[in-house]
Structure 1
């Protein structure tokens, strides 16, 4: 399935809240967390006042005019943070749109945006059990830190 991609705007805050919630990995068989979880400081920083900083970049994927996914980056001390020059990436899709190629489409487009903006690398944080680890590896990310449950991965961006 192909989606139409557009830049995230400040008017997308409600969509970002939904996508932040959808980005939370919940292992199979576990109950979904209460939606208030996104307001915890370690998560809220991924979307708080998004668009106010020059390093806030993102794309929304739409199908039939409805937002179904998003990818965004920030340079903030968040899960996956490396340094003040490496954007931390977050991505999420609504459940009914996962594993249909939209995540790959979003990732490829975001990597082009970051490369065109002159960034040297991007990082992300992912639960080891998350099936998206395969996508990240296929997109060229490699593990730079690991703990009992999660990986921090980095992808170098190539400049011609």
Structure 2
């Protein structure tokens, strides 16, 4: 098959499925340094989350040591944090090979499912990854809008 034809077909598909870098705020990272947060798909900001769909969250961070890691996610509604279940709380099974070492950069990858029964609202997602002492390896927050699927 001609290389140009392959490029003409695949490049637009790759651009369409590319994760989008989102604006985030640090909310208490003790030692970790978050360099980037990507959510896919998220073509606009704040991210519009459609009910019944799942979104991939990728957090690139460094500068920490830990044997283990556990994720905690909350939806903050009117200043009140509400636990938000995710499929896998174990950070060592979410793109990270533990133990986590200070000299390396890591990409933590997990899913953010949006259930059909969730209300259509604006909220802030607060995502923490904790170390073996329950201290934040990182803590980030970013705004989202949840509404009916397409």
TM-score calculated relative to the size of structure 2: 0.27
Structure with higher helix content: 1
Structure richer in strand, relative to its length: 2
Q: TM (normalized to structure 1)?
A: 0.26
Q: Which has the higher contact order (CA 8 A, sep 6+)?
A: 2
Structure possessing the higher radius of gyration over alpha carbons: 2
